[in-house]
């Protein structure tokens, strides 16, 4: 689905007053799915190819795409706080290394929302955000680490939101973990980690 098509769909849903309903159902569906997963089952590759898994990925992908266009991002930032809280909560619930594709899509959605200053300000009000980023930076999947770094970078680049986070961004353990990721064999992860490390170090100057 291209951004242009997405924008058209979002505009129609907003005009018809149906976007909020869709996002509510989407959030409830994702939460039900994550809570129903058994930790032993969800690590099996074949389950990730099931219709249920593919449906959930498509649903999360739609939310991510909505957040990728300005009108959708603005709507999420203003009218879909419950969904944003749900995404953070579900990422907290999912164990390291489990269903990384779903984690990546939810992280991408949060990152897209964070492009809006209003959206970013709301996200950082969630007390679980920084502990979540720390946890996901230690996830076994490199793409989860990458998109966690990108969300952290978004936080670091906006001066207006730095003060509320305060000491959590100056935590030496956070900097140490990001520093470890600069040695990753994955070029994109290594580059993102290096950029994030420089941003963290700049805060201490």
Residue with tokens 């994109």: 188
CATH class of 3-203: mainly alpha
DSSP, residue by residue, 45-97: GGGGGSHHHHHHHHHHHHHHHHHHSHHHHHHHHHH-HHHHHHHHHHHHHSPTT
Give the pLDDT of residue 115.
Answer: 94
Burial (0-12, 13-18, 19+ Cβ within 10 Å), 162: middle
Of the ranges 4-8, 87-91, 113-117, which one carries the lowest mean pLDDT score?
Answer: 4-8
Find, among 177, 167, 176, 154, the residue nearest to 203 by Cα.
167
Q: pLDDT per residue over 54-73, tens digit each?
A: 999 999 999 999 999 898 89
* pLDDT bucket at 176, cuts 50 / 70 / 90: very high
Does residue 48 carry a pLDDT above 50?
A: yes
In this prediction, residues 105-122 reach a mean pLDDT of 95
Helix axes 70-79, 19-36, angle to 10 degrees: 70
Cα dihedral 185, 186, 190, 193 sign: negative
Structure tokens at 12: 């129609």
Where do the structural domains in the chain lie, given as residue ranges?
Answer: 3-203
């Amino acid at each position: 689905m291209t951004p242009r098509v997405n924008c058209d769909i979002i505009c129609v849903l907003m005009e018809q007053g149906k976007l909020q309903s869709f996002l509510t159902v989407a959030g409830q569906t994702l939460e039900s799915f994550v809570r129903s997963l058994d930790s032993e089952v969800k690590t099996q590759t074949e389950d990730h190819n099931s219709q249920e898994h593919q449906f959930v990925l498509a649903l999360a992908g739609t939310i991510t795409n909505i957040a990728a266009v300005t009108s959708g991002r603005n709507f999420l930032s203003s009218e879909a706080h419950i969904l944003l809280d749900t995404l953070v909560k579900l990422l907290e619930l999912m164990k390291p290394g489990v269903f990384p594709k779903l984690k990546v899509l939810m992280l991408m959605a949060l990152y897209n929302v964070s492009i809006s200053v209003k959206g970013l300000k709301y996200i950082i009000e969630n007390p679980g955000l920084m502990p979540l980023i720390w946890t996901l930076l230690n996830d076994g999947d490199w793409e989860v680490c990458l998109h966690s770094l990108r969300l952290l970078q978004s936080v670091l680049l906006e001066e207006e939101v730095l003060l509320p986070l305060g000491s959590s961004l100056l935590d030496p353990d956070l900097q140490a973990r990001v520093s470890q990721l600069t040695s990753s064999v994955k070029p994109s992860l290594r580059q993102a980690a290096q950029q994030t490390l420089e941003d963290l170090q700049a805060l201490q100057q």
